[in-house]
Amino acid sequence: MTAFYLNFLYRALGYDGLALGALVGAQALGVAFGVLIARFAAPGRSRKLVIIAGGVIVGAGVVGLLTLDAYPLLMVSSALVGLGGIVATSSGVALLADATEAGARSSRFGQQIALGTMAAFTASVLAGALAAPVAAVLGARQDDALTLRALVALGGIVGASSAIPVLLIRDVAVSRATSGRLGRLIARFALVEMVFGFGAGSFIPFINLFFADRFALDFRAIGVALGTIAVAGSLGALVHGRIVASRIGPVPAVAAVVAASTPFALIAALTGNVVVAVAALAVRAMFMYGTQATWSAYQLSSFTPAERAAANASLALVWNVAAALASSASGAIRGALGPAGFTVNLVVLIACYLAAAALQFMLFRGREPKGDVVAVDAELRAAWPTNAD
């Protein structure tokens, strides 16, 4: 709900084009500072405690976005949202991986992503529907900064309630065994994430503006459009790991489906029909959300439990820095070209996704993840040292 209205809030405060792109990019750059915490302060600490700490930082950033007007302070607030988000997410994803057997991770991650996208469907539809009544209560226009801040605040309140189930999580004991290959593996994964991040950052953060500017949809209609895309994404997340990856292997399944998603992005870039655009982006989301679950499971299974939070944070850093650069550049492009700039943004996404799919196949074809095996071997050697040890 908060993300739905942030771009519109920035516009209502007088920031658009490059300035708006930089605000979106600031959130991504905040991830860079969060990675330092995730890599050096979080290891060895309670996963649950780190998740809660990250949530508190996100909350501070949202409060800043609600109460501040000065551009530099909004940049800092946006960065805090990114910083806290990566701290919480890295430990949360690692916790889920630790608690799931290696063979079941792809399906489990798919279920988690499906739940998240179904929540996004509900949030998008609800957020779009709330604009009119909230504006009426406040006696303001729907696109007024006061109304938009109230809507962002509602999303923040809902987000804060997520602390309740987190408090009920039972921490899973984390092995301290490492593979000694963190740097070498990270370099290959990071190259893929950099290309994906640049492609995604050029368009995905501005999808709400795409429907507003190109098709003149109101908030309610945008909510339905984004909700439809989210539902399609949840279906892909559920079936990819269980059906596609299990038959042809995770890497070919991810690379092939990523490539297959790009024609639908091209359709959305070129069409002037909003129904066709929503349908095309929904099919693209169905493909991409499915690959996201399988690829995340494959990445984390390549690292030992002791390395997973740091690995996830490092890869998120690369993705977000690339996305931040792309967001700023795409904002400048749309500032110069107007709604036609979205076509350029989507073409950049397509080119990057095709390049990333090729890198996935070339760098990881035939490679089986061994993070769990390495961790078990290290624990056995520690428990039963040999003469050689």
Domain boundaries, the chain: 2-368
68-106 confidence digits (pLDDT tens): 888 999 999 989 988 888 788 777 777 777 667 666 666
CA dihedral sign, ordered 100, 103, 106, 108: negative
CATH number for the domain running over 2-368: 1.20.1250.20
353-362 confidence digits (pLDDT tens): 999 999 999 9
The separation between the first and the last C-alpha atoms of the chain, rounded to the nearest angstrom, is 55
**Contact call for residues 38 and 84 (beta carbons, < 8 A):** no
- Give pTM, 2 decimals: 0.70
Select, from the ranges 117-121, 134-138, 174-178, the one with the highest average predicted confidence (pLDDT). Answer: 134-138
In angstroms, the CA 342 to CA 338 distance is 8
Q: Average pLDDT, stretch 52-76?
A: 89
**Contact call for residues 6 and 152 (beta carbons, < 8 A):** yes
Of 60-64, 165-169, 191-195, 266-270, the range with the lowest mean pLDDT is 165-169
Average pLDDT, whole number, for the chain?
A: 80
Q: Which residue has the tokens 């890869």?
A: 315
193-242 confidence digits (pLDDT tens): 999 999 999 998 888 889 989 999 888 888 888 888 888 887 877 776 66
168 DSSP assignment: T
User: Above pLDDT 70, what percent of the chain?
Assistant: 83
Position 182 pLDDT exceeds 50: yes
Specify the pLDDT at position 371: 57
312-352 confidence digits (pLDDT tens): 778 887 887 898 889 888 888 888 888 889 999 999 999 99
Pinpoint the alpha helices (H) of the chain.
Answer: 2-12, 17-36, 47-67, 71-98, 105-138, 145-160, 163-167, 182-201, 207-215, 219-239, 246-248, 250-270, 274-301, 305-337, 341-364, 371-383
Of 174-188, 251-265, 339-353, the range with the lowest mean pLDDT is 174-188
Specify the pLDDT at position 292: 83
Which tops the pLDDT comparison, 170 or 342?
342
Contacts of residue 190, Cβ cutoff 8 Å, sequence gap at least 6: 314, 315, 318
Specify the pLDDT at position 185: 79
Specify the pLDDT at position 349: 95
Angle at 59 between CA 124 and CA 153, to 5 degrees: 45
